[in-house]
Each structure stands twice: as C-alpha cells, then as structure tokens.
Amino acid sequence: MSEPAAHGTTTISDRAFARIAEQLASEDEHVTGPPHVSASVCGAVAAVHCDLAVRYPAPVPRLAAKIREHVRRRLRELTGIAVENVDIEVVELVPERKPERRGGDERRPRPV
C-alpha cells in the first residue's frame, strides 16, 4: 500500500477552522451567546482569536485558561493542525439571573 500523503493533501480554510473553534469555545457553560472567532491557518500551524461573553461571576482568568486549552487540544485532534496561539478576549460580562420566586413566596401588596 502507498502512503496516504501520496494521494493528495487536505486543506482547511481559515473560515472553516474558525467555525470549528467557535463551536469548541461555546461548549463551556459559562460562555453566553455565540463567540466571535477569527483564525489564521498557515500550513500545519494556526492562530485563533476568540471574543467571548461570559456569565458573571466566574473566575475569568481560570475560565479563559480552560477554554484556551480546550480549543487548542480539540482543534489539534479534529484537524491535525497545531494551534500555536489562542487569544481569549472577554468582551462582555453577563450577570447570572437569580431564580424568580414562585407560589406563596411572592410579595404582593396587601389591600387596605
């Protein structure tokens, strides 16, 4: 049998690579809304930039590191392309909504 590389090459466009990274970045429960992701692929090496809105309160530095590692590792697994750099920019903090009270817990004005 011949080597698989002898049959041709597979290329992944920057746009397709960015779409994969976008999906991966949105997998964390603290990310709210779709992230905006750009990517640059040059041969077998890539760089990614993610703009994220995250739920607050969340440990932002730890969350960014977790997402950065997840995106880097999974992109390598899915595409075979080494990701040299993953920039995470938190562009919005979205406060968590507190659960609304229901039933008898609600405070209603009393008739006078």
pLDDT tens digits for range 54-73:
998 989 999 999 999 999 99
The mean of the pLDDT values for the chain is 89
pLDDT of residue 10: 84
Residue 105 has pLDDT above 60, yes or no: no
Q: Is residue 108 in a domain? A: no
Dihedral of alpha carbons 85, 65, 74, 14, sign: negative
CATH number of the domain that residue 86 is part of: 3.30.70.1350
* 3 band by pLDDT with thresholds 50, 70 and 90: low
Output the six-digit token pair for 38.
């750009």
* 112 band by pLDDT with thresholds 50, 70 and 90: low
Q: Is residue 32 in a domain? A: yes
pLDDT of residue 107: 55
Residue 15 has pLDDT above 80, yes or no: yes
> Between 112 and 39, whose confidence is greater?
39
Half-sphere exposure for 27 (CA within 13 Å, toward CB): 14
Structural domain count, the chain: 1
Please give the order of strands across the beta sheet that includes 36-42: 36-42, 45-56, 82-95
Q: Is residue 110 in a domain? A: no
pTM of the model: 0.78
Cβ-in-10-Å burial (0-12, 13-18, 19+) of 26 comes to middle
Q: Is residue 107 in a domain? A: no
Q: Is residue 3 in a domain? A: no
With DSSP H G I counted as helix, E B as strand and the rest as coil, what are the percentages for the chain, rounded to 5? 35, 30, 35
Domain of residue 51: give its range.
14-95
Q: Is residue 58 in a domain? A: yes
pLDDT of residue 92: 96
